[in-house]
Amino acid sequence: VAIVLGTRPEAIKLAPVIRELLARSQEFRPVVIGTGQHADLVRPMLDLFQISLDYDLGLMQPRQTPTSFTALALAALEPVLQTVAADAVLVQGDTCSAVAGAWAAFHLRIPVGHVEAGLRSGDAANPFPEEMNRRLITRLASWHFCPTAGNRRHLLAEGVPDQTIFVTGNPVVDALLTIRNRVLPSERCQQIIQAAQGRRILVLTLHRRENQGDIMAGYLTVLRDFVASHADVELVFPVHPSPAVRAIAHGILGGTARVQLVEPLPYADFLALVQEAWLIASDSGGIQEEAPTLGKPLLVLRQTTERPEAIRAGVARLVGQSSARFRTLLEQAYADDRWTCHLRQVVNPFGKGDSAQRIVTALARVLGVSLHKVAV
């Protein structure tokens, strides 16, 4: 089974699946292909799960665009997939690496399994280009591993045959539980938490393409003012390496009291930080799945979400792109701590931590492989 991945969330979510395939060495041989889309963020994640790349395409370029990157990835993946001669290709989610992996495999008539299938925001411009990427992958894939029953319904409505859809949960839950239980936070992470001196920690992540520019500046200005007017709040922002994000983050928040702009954190550290958080504000997709697992309240900094399950579970609130609404929701969360208390009881809509096992079981079934019992 060839696994194509290129970005941090793909590494996080495919790592448990790769580990499950490795544990079943009688039946499967995973071959991991990294496109290098976000190489710096992927490597530490794979190290954490003791996974090495069999092929590292190293395709990242300065100022890459979705088109330039996808074109490079398509061209580079074809010969590698030909050499590997896999029985199946797995891709995850909605990145340009995932589209390129699925499309290159399709051209070679290798069936594609799509992990995290069936998410839809219903708006091709949000998130961009991911919403279109995931729709394209649906058309190219033979098997669809959906996190939730709602995702399955989206695919059925688009005419995807029922027998090709498997509701498996999302392996992000597996990844989170594995790392939380096994890896201690680093000294650097402990220093970040200690620097907050018991204040309420607001964890921020923000980098999405459709937020860059005025919208991002609006969110950051609201946060700067909110921190300034609440002396018991500390903002911790692991700043994404994207140059556009760095410039605006340092421009608006640089040198502000009780604001820590830090480098992206290793996954275990990030989880440890979130566990100490009073509130999260983020435009990430993965964090919408992690928040219910960790029982933490989340303000979603997006126009729309393809993960309504987190909102229905009462964990997440959708901000939209309005600064005024963001300010209101922050003040509400500050004034009323019932939101945080209620969260501890939520049932995680994204699974129990057995998704990798369920995906590999389904994969074995469609490939006609019988599984032996293994201690994973």
Q: Name the residues annotated as catalytic.
A: 94, 116, 130, 207, 209, 240
Q: Which CB atom, from 28 or from 49, has the smaller least distance to ligand UDP?
A: 49
Q: Which of 280, 287, 315, 363 binds ligand UDP (CB under 6 A)?
A: 287
**369-372 long-range Cβ contacts below 8 angstroms, 24+ apart:** 369/27, 369/28, 370/27, 371/24, 371/27, 372/24, 372/26, 372/27
Does 353 bind ligand UDP (CB under 6 A)? Our answer is no
Smallest gap from residue 271 Cβ to ligand UDP (A): 7
Q: Which of 286, 308, 351, 353 binds ligand UDP (CB under 6 A)?
A: 286
Question: Which H or E element spans position 32?
Answer: strand 31-34
Phi and psi, residue 286, nearest 5°: -60, -35
Q: Which of 97, 126, 148, 284 binds ligand UDP (CB under 6 A)?
A: 284
Does 115 bind ligand UDP (CB under 6 A)? Our answer is no
Smallest gap from residue 82 Cβ to ligand UDP (A): 29
| Residues from 207 through 266 that contact ligand UDP (CB under 6 A) | 238, 264-265
Does 290 bind ligand UDP (CB under 6 A)? Our answer is yes
Tokens of 297: 């309240």
Does 147 bind ligand UDP (CB under 6 A)? Our answer is no
d(CA 225, CA 218): 11
d(CA 192, CA 205): 15
d(CA 165, CA 118): 9
For residue 29, the tally of other CB atoms under 10 A from its CB is 14
Does 97 bind ligand UDP (CB under 6 A)? Our answer is no
The number of residues in the chain equals 376
| Residues from 179 through 218 that contact ligand UDP (CB under 6 A) | 205
Site of interaction with ligand UDP (CB under 6 A): 8-9, 12, 205, 238, 264-265, 267, 270, 284-287, 290
